[in-house]
Structures are given as C-alpha cells and as structure tokens.
Structure 1
Amino acid sequence: MAEKKVVVAGATGLVGNAALRHFGAAGGCDVLALSRRRPRELHGFRHVQIDLTDPAQCRRAATELQGATHLVYAALYEAPNLVDGWRDQDQIRTNDLMLRNLMAALEPVAPQLRHVALLQGTKAYGVHVRPLTVPAREGRSEMYEQPNFYWAQENFLRELQQGKAWHWSILRPVLIVGETIGGAMDLIPPLGVYAAMLREQGRPLDYPGGAARVSQAVDVDLLARAIAWAGEAAAARNEAFNVTNGDVFTWENVWPAIADALEMKPGNAVPLSLAQEYPKWIAPWDELRRKHNLISPGLEEFVGLSFQYADYSMRHGRTQAGPPSIVSTVKINQAGFTEMMDTEAMFRKWFGLARSSRLLP
C-alpha cells in the first residue's frame, strides 16, 4: 500500500481536476476523488460520489477515507448569482458546513493525517469590494471584517488542528486558468465559445470587456504543484500563501495571443456581456458540436456560471481603468516554492489543449 493517501475533495472542479492530474503523473500515492459528478478523467484513481452538504453521505464514505494522509480541499459551493453570492450568508454557511462534514468523517478514520490544503483567493483581501493594497500581503492585508466563507473555514481548521499532529496550509491563487466542464470560475469555456461564435460569422476576435486593470493569473497545473509542495514542506505548516504565475497582465495585452491560439485575428474593443448574450448561442453551439465532432456538452452544462465570471474578470461595463489587483508572492518564494510561468504562454497552452482535446472547435 502507498504510504501517502491523498483525498481530493471537489475533484471535478478546476483545481481538484488539476490535483488529480498532478498526483497521477507524479505517482507513488493512492488518491481518492470526491465529487457529486464523476470526473471526466480519473487517472486510474477511485471516485466516491458524495454531496458534502449531507453529513450522512460523508459518514458513509468513512471506509473509503480510511488511512488518508493528505486532504486537498478544493470543493466549493457557489450561488446561482455568482458575484452577489460572494457576500451571501447562505453561501458562507454552506461552504463552512461542507468542510465540517468532511473533516468529521475523515479525522476519526485517518490517524496518520499529515496535511490539509485549503483554497482561498484574493477575496481574502476584499478584491470584490475595495481596491487592493498593492501588493496584498499575507498576514497584513486580509479583510477579516468582510463576511466570507474563507474565514469560517479557516477558523474551524485552526481550532480543529490545535494539539494535533497534522498541519494545514492555505493557498490563495489569483485568477485561475485551466480546463474543466461546468465550472463556476473557468474562463477557457466562455471565451472559447464566444470566439467560436465570432469565427462562424467570419469575424475577428473582438475584445468584449471593459476598461483595463493590471492583474495576475495562475496556471492551474502550477497551482496543483504548489498544493503538493505545501503538503510536504515544513515551511508551509499552518501558513497562508499567495500563488501567481509571477508576472502581471491586462486582458488587452494578452488578447492577441488568445486570438492567435484560436487561429483568429484580434479585433476591436466591442463591449458585450457574455452572461446576457449566451442564451442566443445555445442552438448554434449544438450545431458547432455536431459539425466539429466535439466532446463538450451543451452550452449551459459546459460553461456553468463562468459566463458571469468572464464578465466580472474582464470588467464588463467599466469605463474607467481599474485599480491594480496585485498580490505579493515573496512569502511562498522564500518558503521554497519558486515556480513561475509566462501568462501569455499559459493562455496559449489552455486554448490549444481545449481545441486539441475537442472541447472547442
């Protein structure tokens, strides 16, 4: 039996899926994938279908959770109205409950538990309600006064861990880019569908967003490696870390690279709400799926809430340049994780992969 058993909660999401890929490629460990839907690719690992909001389902999974040494907690409940939901008390309670239910089932059957990795993000610094202090730093810039499920989960883990042999690490990625189906915050499907609609009309790739803001992104595979690092590094015990690619970008300056990756010409700035426009694309998308023999599902199942997230990320409707959204990665670099990636290369990678795997035409 492998000495390391990793439980990945939220295995169908952007981060959980990348964690499965990482541990599958790294080898040498047993992995259990937890999610409500079966992941598209299990990389040879076992899957348990589970709704973490249901304590009875969590208790029933205890035999499968036995012997866990690491938990990657990437499960997430988002409200149907995505951005407003970030301040919603029900969303906070639901996410808090999910982690509590899982830990209540896992801890008693996992005496060898060594590490819990928890995902947060720049909402820890209030990016959704105020300009960030530039750069936002762990331990200095947190916005604890803003209601957020991060604080409920973090306080619960801190209290639970007291006097125990296991440790936690909190990862705070910026805009995460990767590939999943039906994610709430994955930009490849909504932008890829938007591009496909324009290409069918023989049009260039117009930029649909609002006024510029300097920000950061992180490749989801790089984030998965940071999570794996945190599970073993002494310097990561009971610490929070920002994680980015290491550079900055604006949508306008990566747009030509995105157009090129999709074999299109970059167009003009033509403001458009993807969340409002997409119902018109449902039938044409089905036509494109047939025409190009795509493996991706119907539009709403494929993109999930991510049309809303694309509007938010690209600042639809904003006519003034926004305050920069930049975090410091000095802490994680000094602790020993020093990987970087060019953000333009990251967008090329994921749009290229989505096309070669027949998710996008």
Structure 2
Amino acid sequence: MHAPMHSILNTRGPNQKYHQSCKLMGQEIKATQNVALIIGVTGLVGKELARSLTMRSEWKVYGIARRPDGFPSQGYNYYFISCDLLDPVDTMEKLSLLEDVTHIFWVTWASQFPLGSKECCDQNQAMMSNVLNAILPRAKALKHVSLQTGTKHYIPSAAPFDSGGVVYYDEESPRVLESYNFYYALEDLLRERLTSNVGWSVHRPGLLLGSSPRTAFNFMGSLCVYASICRHLSLPFVVGGARMCWEEAYIDASDARLVAQQHIWASTDDSVSLAIGEAFNAVSGSPFTWKEIWLALAAKFQVFVPEEMFVPSFTFSAAMHDKGPVWEEIVEKEGLKRTQMEDLANWWFMDAVFGCPVKILASRNKVERLGFGTSFGTVESILYWVDCMREEKLIP
C-alpha cells in the first residue's frame, strides 16, 4: 500500500552505519525546504503528522519513538530513529546530528507516573530538556516548535473541581492553582530555552480520536476492543459512569487528522508561526452526547444494544479486566496483528471518560478567527477510525 519505511534502528553506542546515514540525510535537505522532527511519531497525532508531511515534496521527516509502529511510511522522505528520550546519552547521540531540522513537533509524553505528580512533571520536563540539549546547539535553521498538551490545561488533575456550570474555555483562561502540571512545565521550559527568532505554539486537544497501538490513553482502541469482545461473547453493548456524561455535552472530541493539520498550520502560516508561545485549542467542532450516537456505534460494530443502554453501575474495569484471553481468541480467529488487550485498551481511562465529574468544553473561536477552519463531526470521526483500525488489522 505504501513505499517501504527507511529505518535507523540502532542501539546505544558508536555505530558507523548510523552516522553515515545521518550525513546522507543532511545532504538530502538541499532538495527540500522544511525538515520536521516528530517527537512521538507512533502516537495518534504523530502518525498523522508523518503521513501528511511525507506526502508533501517540500518536507523531509524524522520520526522519533522508542519502537517503530510496524506500519509502512507513505513516502521516500521519511526516516525513523529509535531513541529513548529519557536517556540523555542516547538522545544526544541520536539527535545531535540532525542539523537540518527546521520544525519540531512535540506530540508525546511520559506516562509512567500519575498526572499531577511531581514525578510526572519532572520526567516530562527532563525528556524535553534532553531533546533541546541535542537539537538547539546545531540546528541553526530551526523556525518553530509545536507543543501538544490538552484541554486538561484548564482543570485540576484531581478534585475539588469547580467548572461553574457550562464553560467553554478559551486560550486565555488562567492556569489552575496546583503544584504539578507537566503541561505548564513544558510551556515554561520552551519559554526559557528558545531564542526570540524561534516561534513556538501550544495545541490543546480534547478526547483524541485516532489509531495507534502505542498510546497510553487510547479511546478508539479501548472502544473497539470493548465492542469486539461484546460481539464475540454476545454481551450487551452498554455504558456506565455519570448520567451527565451520557445525556449532556461535557467533553470535546479531537480527530487526530485535525490536530495534525493544526500543528502544521501554526508552524507554517506566516500570520502565526513567528508568535512566541501562542496557544490554540484543537477540538473538532460541534458538541455531542454519547446518548445521541451510541446506536450508530452499535450498528457499526454489529453488537446487541438493550433498550436501556446506560447502566450507571457498569464499569469497563470490572467488565473487561479478565477478558485478555478472549481478545487473544479474537486476534487468532480473525487473523489480526498480534496485540495484547492492554496494547489497545485502557479500562481505567474509559471509566474516567464516561464518569468525568466536570465539563471540559473548549472554544474554537481563536483558530477560526485566524483562518484555521478544519472540523469533523464526532460520529463521522469515530466511524472513520474504526475503518482505519480494521484496515490496519488491529480489530475485526
């Protein structure tokens, strides 16, 4: 379907072939205008950034992650580099040779520690610092750094919550008062480290919709695994949590295609790319409720829906915690790519999504005023990504 991916998969330590490859990559920039460094290329948005940019002849793309995602690249101008960004030595060795980088897209995070913890904040800040230490001294043509965080920028990581009813947060909403938020730490680090001739922007998506087996909080993966198991075992396709989350608009969806295009727009549009620390909400558009679209999802997955679809006592964690062997049966029966249930599904995250105690709705006024008009309907996005996951043989 696509051309083979160029890969640089070396371990830490001297590697002559790796250094020769980097020199060749540096020479190839003469035929291109922009060079992207995608940090987190195997994630939901990272994959879409790579797909979009490699289809443009004026771009060359370096994709950075610890492991390749196993899917081929679309173009000849893509180079994958395996790197542990939490290791300063590995990061310096792998990335300091990329002197031709003009744009950095930061679409990853270290998720080993709980959100709102000092450890999470310190780890993510250290990871970005390692990359900047490797790139900034030698990438003299760097024009823009695009940072992805999220709409949780606007609420605390833990109770007490106080949304004051229905609030559409805009980009000027103040930071919440809490000790540790790695979103804030990364913004502050860019403000400290980047010079005035490098523009940078911040992008805040809501509930990300996309396809990747390398994402910790993977809504589409979780939803599709749940629906597939319901169908396989003839279980009712129900949902629990907070009734508000079932009946009211309380969270924004963000199609990974939209978020990727917004990163590119903010990095290259002359009217915004030179700004310092400009923030943009990255949400798909119209509000939605799960009550309105649950039947459409059931029809797509061909699962049984009882008359009462909302069951307050239902939790994904309780219903699915022992279904790993069932998923293995499905993978074997359907000839899918080999994954464990936990590679695609995060049941704690699903319970948090459907039981969210506060509304997190974001305004699109700013991006639309500045000329970015891409939007997607939520049900259309979900159905699109189901088809993508099926094409990639991740789900039946």
Q: Gapped runs of 5+ residues in structure 1?
A: none
Instruction: Provide the TM-score with structure 2 as the length reference.
Output: 0.83
Secondary structure at 1:71's aligned position in 2?
strand
CA displacement at 1:274 relative to structure 2: 2.1
CA displacement at 1:173 relative to structure 2: 0.7
Correspondence for 1:325: 360
What is the identity, as a one-letter code, of the residue corresponding to 1:272? F
Correspondence for 1:65: 98
Q: Distance in 1 between matches of 2:175 and 2:35?
A: 32
CA displacement at 1:159 relative to structure 2: 1.8
Secondary structure at 2:55's aligned position in 1?
helix
Correspondence for 1:356: 391
Matched, 1:14 2:44: yes
Q: 1:185 aligns with which of 194, 209, 217?
A: 217
Q: Distance in 2 between matches of 1:70 and 1:89?
A: 29
Q: Distance in 2 between matches of 1:73 and 1:260?
A: 36
CA contact (8 A) 1:296 1:302 kept: no
What is the identity, as a one-letter code, of the residue corresponding to 2:386? F
Q: Distance in 2 between matches of 1:49 and 1:277?
A: 36
More deviation, 231-240/110-119 = 231-240
What is the identity, as a one-letter code, of the residue corresponding to 1:176? L
What is the identity, as a one-letter code, of the residue corresponding to 2:163? L
Q: 1:107 aligns with which of 112, 128, 136?
A: 136
CA contact (8 A) 1:212 1:250 kept: no
The structure whose Rg is larger is: 2
Q: 1:126 aligns with which of 149, 155, 162?
A: 155
Matched, 1:261 2:291: no
Structure 1 residues 42 and 240, CA gap change in structure 2 (3 angstroms): farther
Correspondence for 1:289: 331
Q: Distance in 2 between matches of 1:142 and 1:232?
A: 27
Q: Distance in 2 between matches of 1:334 and 1:328?
A: 11
CA displacement at 1:323 relative to structure 2: 4.3
CA contact (8 A) 2:154 2:169 kept: yes
Matched, 1:249 2:249: no
RMSD: 1.9
Q: Distance in 2 between matches of 1:277 and 1:146?
A: 35
Secondary structure at 2:127's aligned position in 1?
helix
Deviations 1:120-163 (A, max 9, x none): 11121015442436111112343254520111111111122243
Q: Distance in 1 between matches of 2:180 and 2:367?
A: 26
Correspondence for 2:373: 338
Correspondence for 1:275: 317
CA contact (8 A) 1:124 1:144 kept: no
CA displacement at 1:192 relative to structure 2: 1.2
Structure 1 residues 24 and 93, CA gap change in structure 2 (3 angstroms): same
Structure 1 residues 190 and 324, CA gap change in structure 2 (3 angstroms): same
More deviation, 169-178/269-278 = 269-278
Q: Distance in 1 between matches of 2:279 and 2:233?
A: 47
What is the identity, as a one-letter code, of the residue corresponding to 1:132? S
Q: 1:136 aligns with which of 143, 166, 169?
A: 169
CA displacement at 1:336 relative to structure 2: 1.5
Q: 1:232 aligns with which of 268, 287, 297?
A: 268
Structure 1 residues 222 and 198, CA gap change in structure 2 (3 angstroms): same
CA contact (8 A) 2:102 2:142 kept: yes
What is the identity, as a one-letter code, of the residue corresponding to 2:143? R
Alignment of 1:198-217 (within 5 A): 198-213=230-245, 214=249, 215-217=251-253
Correspondence for 2:8: none
Q: Distance in 2 between matches of 1:269 and 1:64?
A: 54
Instruction: Provide the TM-score with structure 1 as the length reference.
Output: 0.91
Matched, 1:149 2:182: yes
CA contact (8 A) 2:156 2:177 kept: no
Structure 1 residues 292 and 42, CA gap change in structure 2 (3 angstroms): closer
Q: Distance in 1 between matches of 2:133 and 2:392?
A: 39
CA contact (8 A) 2:240 2:315 kept: yes
CA displacement at 1:296 relative to structure 2: 4.3
Deviations 1:222-264 (A, max 9, x none): 1100001011123252200001111111222221121122123
Secondary structure at 1:242's aligned position in 2?
strand
Percent identical among aligned pairs is 26
More deviation, 185-194/4-13 = 185-194
